[in-house]
Amino acid sequence: MMRLPGMGYDRAITVFSPDGRLFQVEYAMEAVRRGTTVIGVKVKDGVVLAAEKRLTTPLMDSDTVDKIYVIDEHVGAAIAGLHADARRLVDYARVQAQVNRLYYEEPITIEQLTKAVCDLKQNYTQFAGVRPFGVALLIAGVDITGPRLFSTHPSGAYWEWQATAIGRGAQKVNEILEKEYKRELSLEDAIKLSIKSLKEVSEKKLEPENIELAVVSVSDKKIKKLERDELLRLLSLP
């Protein structure tokens, strides 16, 4: 009987293949790659998160499909991958942010929050009977060090970015960002670049119902999810 490559090594998260791979982590990353596109852009004035929503039927209420979550008043997270897994990580991140405020009477830094989430993710790559979280997050906000933007991997690794994308259209969007991103962009320009990039990879025309956008400004250090009227204005711009 012919055996498929990797058979036996992908049955448990604790088993490495002969070439040092954890197949379950790679399967989790495939769930991320199949998710809708999410973009983060950091500039001197703040950070932008933009995400495309997938509505499987016109009967679905778009307000119940969240791709961007508020973690604390100064930080948010956009997700690509399995929504159920994302909710678990978002709830955990919110608790960590509130614990930090309770203990230290100050907002948690964006990197501290990212590290806490990734520590939990990494734990789920070590023990039998569990599986990795099939979701990646872009965590963005403004803290005492300024605007920050991080991405998390199902393995528990994380990286900081000036601009990046995850999800189905990530490769094409990252090519656009590499060409057009500049540190000198204004926050408004960063929003326009995010929307332009999403339009390039979206399978449908972008409408307020299938896009979500949030901004954290250096001026007030508060995350704000844009309302329908503002999204309509931005989507109508050339």
H/E stretch holding 166 reads: strand 163-166
Does residue 122 sit in helix, strand or coil? Answer: helix
Contact 185, 193 (CB under 8 A): yes
pTM > 0.95: no
The number of folded domains in the chain is 1
pLDDT digits (tens, 9 = 90+) for 157-214: 999 999 999 999 999 999 999 999 999 999 999 999 999 999 999 988 899 999 999 9
Assigned domain for 149 exists: yes
* Token pair listed for 134: 């099939």
Residue 1: pLDDT over 50: no
Does residue 195 form part of some domain? Answer: yes
How confident is the prediction for the chain on average, in pLDDT? Answer: 92
Residue 69, domain member (yes or no): yes
Tokens of 43: 């500039």
Name the 3-class secondary structure at 194.
helix
Considering the domain boundaries, does residue 5 fall inside one? no
- Asked if residue 9 is part of any domain, the answer here is no
Q: Cα(30)–Cα(35) distance, rounded to whole angstroms?
A: 9
Domain of 92, CATH number, reads: 3.60.20.10
Paired residues of 156 in beta bridges: none
What range does the domain containing 164 cover? 23-231
Is 128 in contact with 13 (CB distance < 8 Å)?
yes
The pLDDT score that the predictor gives to residue 3 is 47
179 falls within a domain: yes
CA distance 195 to 108: 29
Residue 238 above 80 pLDDT? no
> Is the per-residue pLDDT at 30 higher than 70?
yes
Q: Is residue 153 part of a domain?
A: yes
Indicate whether 14 belongs to any domain. no
Report pLDDT for 7: 59
Look at residue 216 in the predicted model and tell me its pLDDT.
98
Q: What are the strands, taking DSSP E only, across 23-153?
A: 38-43, 46-52, 68-72, 75-81, 135-143, 146-152
pLDDT value for 9 = 66
Radius of gyration of the chain, Cα coordinates, nearest whole angstrom: 18
Report whether 173 contacts 165 (CB < 8 A): yes
Is 80 exceeded by the pLDDT of residue 151?
A: yes
